[in-house]
Amino acid sequence: MARRKNNIGKIIILLFLIIILVLAGLMWFDYLGVIQAKKIFAPIYKLFGLQVQTTQASTSSTPLEADLDNDRFLKRLESLDVRTEELNKRETEIAQAEALSQQTAQELEDRRIAQEEREQSFNNIVSRYESRQTNVETNVANLNNMPPQNAVDILVAMDDQDIIDILRMADEVAQAQGGVSLASTWLMMMPPERAAQIQRKMLSKPTTTPTESATN
């Protein structure tokens, strides 16, 4: 009988220890946040001054880290936007500078072409003037070597300006050679009206410019 009582006592103690271990295990798991039993064990936690470690509390740092990562990401995006704007602005400035440079180069090229055309035109005029002068000198030499009437017949068939140039060249050649010019003789032997017309033109245009000679 006494042995049975001892066994019952041991069983009760063993059960009590098991219950304590179970409760302690539950409290520990609840404290770690593995299970949710804080409402049951809240008075005990307060008694020992413990704070329940729930799953939400254990991961409370995750939103903070996420916020920090999000801030970093937003700052990177902002930095990229600023850099993109700077690059776009730079590209625009470069494009404008290139366009201005091309425009300037085109203007310079146009000016160069225009200058070359003017020079070529002037050279052509000078060349034609020199050629005309040579022809006039040749005509004067030929006319001086023929009878005056034959020379007059040739002269009256020419334009007034050609006659004027020949008469003036005849005076210049005679003066250079120290001889007598036949210009006045030719002029006197021409028809009176034609001779008067040529004299008026010679008075109104004392000399002939290269441009005038080249265009005649």
101-115 confidence digits (pLDDT tens)? 888 889 988 988 988
Domain count along the chain: 2
Q: What is the pLDDT of residues 62-104, one digit of tens each?
A: 555 666 677 787 888 888 888 888 888 888 989 888 888 888 8
- Tell me if 76 is assigned to some domain: no
CA–CA dist 182, 144 (Å, integer): 7
Domain boundary among 59, 91, 106: 59
Q: Is residue 202 within 8 Å of 167, Cβ to Cβ?
A: yes
Q: Is residue 46 within 8 Å of 25, Cβ to Cβ?
A: no
CA–CA dist 80, 16 (Å, integer): 67
- Tell me if 156 is assigned to some domain: yes
CA–CA dist 102, 166 (Å, integer): 53
Half-sphere exposure of 117 (CA within 13 A, CB side): 6
Give yes or no for residue 59 having a pLDDT over 50: no
Q: Which helix (H) or strand (E) holds 11?
A: helix 2-32
- Tell me if 80 is assigned to some domain: no
- Tell me if 106 is assigned to some domain: no
Domain that holds residue 143: 132-215
How far does Cα 153 stand from its chain's mean position?
A: 69
Half-sphere exposure of 85 (CA within 13 A, CB side): 6
pLDDT at position 128 is 73
CA–CA dist 140, 142 (Å, integer): 5
- Tell me if 52 is assigned to some domain: yes
Q: Return the CATH number at 146.
A: 1.10.220
Domain boundary among 14, 37, 59: 59
